Amino acid sequence: MSEALEFLQVKSRDLDPAKRGVSFLAGDAVRNSPVKITMNCHDVPLSELLDYLAHLAGLEIVVQASGDVKVTSSARMTPPYLASAATQRQLDQVAVVLPQMRFEKASLGEALEFVRVITEKQKPGQSKMHILLDPALDAEKPQIISDVLDVTVADALVYIAAVADAEVICMRNAFYIQPAAQPRGKLADGSLPDLGTPGKAVLPRMPFQGATLREAIDFLVNRSRDLDPEKKGVRILIDEETRKAAGKITLDSHDVTLERALMQVAAVAGVDIYQLRGAVRLRMPR
């Protein structure tokens, strides 16, 4: 926390023509707080940054008449914050489609930074995209594996958060990634996942002999793109821990939809299926 306050104080002096900047009045309890701050913001007012910092670290920030900023611990609500319909509306307002979201063991921080950078490249000159990461989440985990085509920014953020057992909410002009307030329920055994129109395509044959989960997923994704007139295919996300722990797959199924094929693969590999919006996440049982 002391590093975050020092950074803001130095930056405020750099940007102040009089070079006075802002003085932060904070005791040792605040400065020595073990809370780790992860956020990536560009072209954002200092007042907005302070608001984000307050939410991330559970602080009360008051601008005094002198212009100094008093920072104390806060008893107000701290994460997790409640998601709302406004969150989805704000997500959907980011009218950007990522041509591909391919991750090979990307950390949570790396995946979020990828989405931010691509979004800003596609919308130059528009307002920047701010992403805040709750201190309870580890920016270095999990190791995300995905290969998704033509995905909206809204869905990309939801998918990335889901693999980290997290959720996306909106906070002023930023997207806040926090631990999921409610655990996402897995599909019941034998239930078909919803993979959209591509998932209804029929595979003439699905032959696996001791295949890994990753090999099976790659097969299903590639075949779904072959069968999909729009060539987008199905969306399946896993993490490295699940890839390593899943059992080997031996199957020889004929004339099955991709959704049923995925259900069979998950059952043999011993993994659970979690439904997302137009996608699924596979993970080891809790």
Task: Tell me the three state secondary structure of residue 281.
Answer: strand
Residue 231 confidence class, pLDDT cut points 50, 70, 90: very high
**How high is the pLDDT of residue 201?**
95
- Class of domain 2-73 (CATH, top level): alpha beta
User: Residue 254 forms beta bridges with which residues?
Assistant: 205
CATH number of 85-179: 3.55.50.30
Q: What share of the chain has pLDDT > 70, as a percent?
A: 92
Other Cβ atoms less than 10 A from the Cβ of 89: the count is: 11
User: Residue 203 forms beta bridges with which residues?
Assistant: 256
Q: How far apart are CA 61 and CA 270, in angstroms?
A: 49
Q: Which of 175, 177, 154 shows the shortest CA–CA distance to 165?
A: 177
Task: Tell me the three state secondary structure of residue 189.
Answer: coil
Handedness of CA 158, 162, 163, 169 (dihedral sign): positive
pLDDT digits (tens, 9 = 90+) for 48-104: 888 888 777 778 888 888 888 888 887 554 555 555 555 566 666 667 899 999 999
3-state secondary structure string across 34-90 = CCCCEEECCCCCHHHHHHHHHHHHCEEEEECCCCCEEEEECCCCCCCCCCCHHHHHH
- Class of domain 197-283 (CATH, top level): alpha beta
Residue 106 phi, psi (nearest 5): -80, 140
What are the structural domain ranges in the chain?
2-73, 85-179, 197-283
Do 145 and 105 meet the contact criterion of CB atoms below 8 Å apart?
yes
**How high is the pLDDT of residue 21?**
85
Question: Is the fold of 2-73 the same as that of 197-283?
Answer: yes
Its pTM stands at 0.80
Do 159 and 279 meet the contact criterion of CB atoms below 8 Å apart?
yes
User: Residue 39 forms beta bridges with which residues?
Assistant: 132
Q: How far apart are CA 54 and CA 67, in angstroms?
A: 18
pLDDT digits (tens, 9 = 90+) for 113-138: 999 999 888 877 666 788 888 888 99
Residue type, 235: R
Lowest mean pLDDT among 40-44, 137-141, 154-158, 247-251: 40-44
Structure tokens that stand for 35 in this block? 């809370």
